[in-house]
Amino acid sequence: MKARENPFSMDRVERFRYRPLDRTWEQIMQTLAELEYRAAIVGPEGSGKSTMLEDLRERLRAIGLHVRCGAVNVNRRRMAKEHWQAMLAELSPRDVILFDGADHLPWWDWMRLRWHARRAGGAGGLIIAVHREGMLPTLLKTRTSVQLLAEMVTELLGRHEPMVEEVFEKHRGNLREAIREMYDWMAER
Amino acid sequence: MGMLNVQLAEGKTVFRAAEEIVGSVAWELEEAAEVVEVRLAWCTRGKGGVDEEVVEQLRIATPGAKGQASFKFVAPRSPVSFSGKIISVLWSVTAVTMPKGQQVQMPITISPTGKEIDLYGPR
């Protein structure tokens, strides 16, 4: 199958938004306000942390906050100097930094990020996506389920696919990897 | 939503490098747009993230609520339209209204063979 026809192509997968399993978005935003917008989204690889950060960006803007973004990952633990400068320049009390992969930051960079966000004060804050708890108060823990994967696959494929359960187990709930395997499976057809 | 339409001259949708891509855009919107843009662009589809680039564009300032305009682009040499199992490169002419962001896309093919290069097709 050609890449452009593959139902599991990234452009199609990226249309899925984060689906909280046991709380509503209203409850999440309420908790976030109570935490003064200084919080962590915690979860394993492929559980929706980055997607949730993206979704939060729009919701924070909708309530009048200004959003700045940064990201690192296990392969790229440092951000370019210019990006740091742009992200931290003249932070106001209405700025919120969304930082994906903060647990990969070198210690000094993490301290700097926290310090700048705290200094901004007011309603502004820092929301991070990480694999482990303890860096900031936990807003929520992202998790996946075989039902969630099944829903996504059914929507993308237009029918139920029995191999979903096996793929979910194989990738230990990592939806990103599970979907990539489904892509390869379709590509060979 | 109103009407936004892209038409290519003689209905032609396949082009070779350096060939002219000629057409027209027409709009009849509920509210006057500030700008209508026509873009010649490519994007990727497949297993990895999406890459895209606008290689040429026509910006129509103060288009009002109703009107039409002609455009003429030149098909570049690369990247050519192709598809494999991992990635496809797709070309299009897209019209976009601003600030509403209403858009219409006309897929086209740019290729030296006159059709999309199929990396896994019959040889």
ipTM: 0.82
Nearest to A114 by CA among A92, A136, A89: A136
Domain extent for B82: 3-118
Contact criterion met (CB < 8 Å) for B47 and A180: yes
* 3-class secondary structure, A187: helix
User: Are B41 and B55 contacting, i.e. CB atoms less than 8 angstroms apart?
Assistant: yes
Is A9 an interface residue toward B (CB < 8 Å)?
yes
The answer to whether A6 contacts chain B (CB < 8 Å) is: yes
Residue B123 maps to a domain: no
In a domain, B91, yes or no: yes
Domain-located, residue B85: yes
Could you tell me the two tokens for A102? 């903060």
Contact A99, A70 (CB under 8 A): yes
B32 domain-assigned? yes
Is residue B98 domain-resident?
yes
Domains in chain B: how many in total? 1
- CA-based nearest residue in chain B for residue A182: B47
Query: For the residues B28-33, what does the mean pLDDT come to?
Result: 93
Q: Does A71 touch chain B (CB under 8 A)?
A: no
The CATH number of the domain where B71 resides is what? 2.60.40.640
Which tens digit of pLDDT belongs to each residue from A11-56? Answer: 999 999 888 878 899 999 999 999 999 999 999 999 999 999 999 9
Higher pLDDT, B1 or A80: A80
- The residues, ordered by sequence, that sit 6+ positions from A82 with a Cβ below 8 Å of its Cβ are none
Helix or strand run (H / E) with residue A3: none
Interface test with A, best of B42, B43, B47 (most A CBs within 10 A): B47
Tell me whether B118 touches chain A (CB under 8 Å).
yes
Sign (positive/negative) of CA torsion A30, A34, A36, A37?
A: negative
Distance CA A101, CA A73 (A): 5
The answer to whether B90 faces chain A, any CB pair under 8 Å, is yes
Q: What is the pLDDT of residue A121?
A: 65
pTM: 0.82
pLDDT of residue A90: 85
Residue A89 pLDDT:
87
- The pLDDT tens digits for A89-142 are 888 888 999 999 999 999 999 999 998 888 766 556 999 999 999 999 999 999
Q: What is the pLDDT of residues B44-68, one digit of tens each?
A: 999 998 999 999 999 999 899 999 9
Chain A partners of B45 at a C-beta cutoff of 8 Å?
Answer: 3-4, 6, 9-11
Chain A, 145 to 184: residues with Cβ < 8 Å from chain B are 180, 183-184
Domain presence at residue B107: yes
Rounded to whole angstroms, how far apart are CA atoms B66 and B68?
7
Token pair in block for residue A65? 């906050």
Q: Which domains does chain A have, with CATH numbers?
A: 25-141 (3.40.50.300), 144-187 (no CATH)
Examine residue B92 and state whether it is found in any structural domain, yes or no. Answer: yes
Phi, psi torsion values for A185, nearest 5 degrees: -60, -45
Q: In the A/B pair of chains, how many CB contacts fall below 8 A?
A: 43
3-state secondary structure A24-88: CHHHHHHHHHHCCCEEEEECCCCCCHHHHHHHHHHHHHHCCCEEEEEECECCECCCCHHHHHHHH
